[in-house]
Amino acid sequence: MKNDRREFLRLSGLGSLAFVGGSIAGYGNPEGLLTNVPARSQRFNMSGYAAPKIETVRIGFIGLGMRGPGGVDAMSKIEGVEIKGLCDIRPKEVEKVQKLLEGTPHNPDTYTNGDYAYKEMVDRDDIDLIYIATPWEWHVPMAVYAMEAGKHVAVEVPAAKTVEECWELVETSERTKKHCMMLENTCYDFFELLTLNMARQGYFGEIIHGEGAYIHDLLEQNFSKNGYEDMWRLRENKGRNGDLYPTHGLGPICQIMNINRGDRMDYLIALSSNDFSMAEKAKELAAEDDFYDEFVGNNYRGNINTMAIKTKNGRSMMIQHDVSSPRPYSRIHLVSGTKAFARKWPSPAKVARGHNWLDKAEMKALEEEYTPAIVKKVGAMAKQIGGHGGMDFIMRWRLIDCLRNGLPLDQDVYDAASWSVVTPLSEISVANRAQSIDVPDFTNGAWKTNAPVDLTLTGGGTTKVLLNG
């Protein structure tokens, strides 16, 4: 069953670029990002799905580079968690994480024997959740294998790289009834949660427009030999021209607009600047070190990508991506409504009611009134534990609390797919002079009746934080 749809596509021999949600037949299709996707009906609606309660969530981790160790450390501080397995192709990285767990009740088995060692761990009967923090190309194969093996999945961003991969996640999750959550941590940052609750309570009035971004100068890190294993992230920037990392800015705006839960993304356009720094950086480094020779002469993505998205209910979004220019860090996070306006960057975050910015006293009163239950519950402890200021921990705690209490997840497989699919669609739009591209409806129409994300902790909030591990 794992490759049914992929085999269908191969056998069908259909050469057009038509797909569910729209068609760009005749347009350029870089790297085969868009393949023919047959019409489908929803097998099972995973939005709002409450899987059976798991009193003790047994976790296996795949990938212990930049993101994995933080996940292990955080999960060891949450009640009702048992870390059963650690997997990475580099034994030294596994050993480092084992040391993090010294003095805790966790004594996981380790898996380091090659690229597919993760399958041995996933096939175990005593694991409930697979946590994936590997290079992007492995996300879908690992997530699909885990769901097929009866495990829930939490996967780092982006969840998928192509349109077909997005559909593969959706169809596997629906068929197996296993959660597939993309670990979009920015949805759990404090101001993002505040503005989400404000939107829920009608503070902004009707939401008109939102903006998000990932503006983070990673030029030196991407070219560093000590950065990403085998320079994988730099390689992602070769031959791909679009918004390669949209979800940090997109996710919180989608939740505020109830995307997949009352509204959905309809179509997008995208354009990129030229590359003014990566090719030059490669030449500069290669002149001193022949290690970098293979990175010279490549077509790197444009420094800045700007994407505009229209929703079915008439709202608009602007999403930017820039990780190779010397700009101050920003995810923008801007919300514009008929009654109020909010903007997180440049700091400090500000809110305007009408045409006037709120003063400090008014902002404090606003925070007291609209801070959601999840922040009141674990926000202070999350800041103490850390992880991007605490948002990483809030996200991980919330995932475990939902699984232990049998609650729907805040981010389901439709979010993972729709927030990720804008990357290949942006690449196609850029390659076609910013032509508009339809966004697939991964919910098959269920977005019209799916309930918004619940911020009340109803039925949950029972999981304790174990500050001492």
Query: Which structural domains are found in the chain, ordered by start?
Result: 57-183 (3.40.50.720), 186-371+411-448 (3.30.360.10)
In this prediction, residues 18-43 reach a mean pLDDT of 56
Report the half-sphere exposure of 270 (CA within 13 A, side-chain side).
29
pLDDT above 70 as % of the chain: 91
3-state secondary structure at position 343: strand
Percent of the chain with pLDDT over 90: 88
**Digit-coded pLDDT (tens) for 311-359:** 999 999 999 999 999 999 999 999 999 999 999 999 999 999 989 999 9
pLDDT at 5 over 50: no
Structure tokens, 455: 């911020």
Confidence of residue 469 (pLDDT cuts 50, 70, 90): low
Can you read off the two tokens belonging to residue 207? 């939401």
Q: Which two tokens stand for residue 65?
A: 């580079």
Please report, for residues 62, 111, 131, 147, the alpha-carbon distance to residue 182 in angstroms, rounded to integers and kept in the order given: 14, 23, 10, 14
pLDDT for position 25: 47
Worst-scoring range by mean pLDDT, 20-24, 73-77, 396-400?
Answer: 20-24
Q: What angle, rounded to 10 degrees, do the helices at 68-75 and 91-100 form?
A: 30
**pLDDT bucket at 37, cuts 50 / 70 / 90:** low
For residue 15, name the pLDDT band (cuts at 50, 70, 90). very low
pLDDT of residue 80: 98
Average pLDDT over the chain reads 92
Task: State the amino acid at position 331 in one-letter form.
Answer: R
Question: Given the structure tokens 């596509």, which residue do they identify?
Answer: 9
Helix intervals (H) in 296-442: 360-370, 373-385, 391-405, 413-431
Query: The dihedral of CA 360, 365, 368, 371: what is its sign?
Result: negative
CA distance 52 to 256: 28
Question: How does pLDDT run across 88-128, given as a tens digit for each residue?
Answer: 999 999 999 999 999 999 999 999 999 999 999 999 999 99
Please give the pLDDT value at position 395.
98
**pLDDT for the residue numbered 7:** 43
Torsion on CA atoms 426, 429, 434, 435, rounded to nearest 10? -130
pLDDT of residue 57: 98
Contact criterion met (CB below 8 Å) for 249 and 212: yes
What's the whole-number mean pLDDT along residues 50-61? Answer: 98
Confidence of residue 173 (pLDDT cuts 50, 70, 90): very high
Alpha-carbon distance of 101 to 115, in angstroms, equals: 24
Residue of 3 and 115 predicted with greater confidence: 115
